[in-house]
A and B are shown apart, each in its own frame.
Chain A
Amino acid sequence: MSNILLYAEVTRENFLHTVLFELAYKAQELAQKLDKAEVSAFLICKTGLAAEYKEAFINSAFDNVYIAEDDSLENYSTELYSKIALDIIKEVKPDIILVGATTQGRDLAPRISSSLHTGLTADCTGLDINEKGQLAATRPTFGGKLMATILCKTLPQMATVRPKVFKPAPENIVKDTKFVYFKPDIENIKTKVEFVEFVKGMNTCINELDSAQIIVAGGRGMKNEAGFELLKNFAESIGGCVGASRGAVEMGLAPVDIQIGQTGKTVTPKLYIACGISGAIQHIVGMQESDKIIAINNDEKAPIFEVCDCGYVGDVFEVLPRLINEFKAE
Chain B
Amino acid sequence: MKIIVCIKQVPDTNDIKWTENNTIQREGVESIINPFDLYAIETALKIKNTLPDVEITVVSMGPLQAEKMLRHTIALGCDKGVLISDKKFAGADTYATGKTLATAIKSKLGDFDLIICGQFAIDGDTAQTGPSIASQLGIPQITFVRELKQCSQDSICAVREIEEGFETVKAQLPALICVLKGLEDTSRAKINGVIRAKNTVVDVYSMEDIELNPEDTGIKGSPTYVSKAFRPVHNRGECEFCKDSSSLAQKIVEYGGLHE
Contact = CB atoms under 8 A, between A and B. Distances in A.
Contacts of B4: none
B226 to A, nearest CB: 5
A148 B124 CA distance: 10
Given A198-B166, A306-B239, A213 B128 contact: no
Name, among B24, B131, B140, B240, the residue most crowded by chain A CB atoms within 10 Å (CB to CB): B131
A34 B204 CA distance: 47
A13 interface: yes
A146 B135 contact: no
B231 A120 contact: no
A143 B170 contact: no
A123 B124 CA distance: 10
Interface stretch (B44-52, B79-87, B90-98): B90-98
Interface string A298-311: 00000001111111
Range for the number of chain B residues in contact with chain A = 35 or more
B187 interface: no
Contacts of A285: 232
B252 A271 contact: yes
Contact of A143 (B122, B140, B144, B161): B122
Contact of B126 (A122, A153, A198): A122
Given A142-B123, A271-B255, A311-B239, A206 B163 contact: yes
Contact of A193 (B170, B232, B246): B170
Interface stretch (A38-46, A111-119, A167-175, A178-186): A111-119
A45 to B, nearest CB: 16
Interface string A116-130: 011111110000001
19 contacts: A106-B127, A107-B143, A111-B131, A113-B128, A113-B132, A117-B95, A122-B126, A142-B13, A146-B231, A147-B230, A149-B226, A193-B171, A197-B168, A201-B164, A206-B164, A238-B257, A239-B259, A310-B240, A311-B242
Given A121-B224, A153-B225, 5 more contacts: A11-B163, A114-B95, A120-B95, A146-B229, A292-B256
Interface of B: 11, 13-14, 16, 24, 93-95, 98, 122-128, 131-132, 134-136, 139-144, 157, 160-172, 175, 222-232, 234, 236-237, 239-242, 245-246, 248-249, 251-252, 255-260
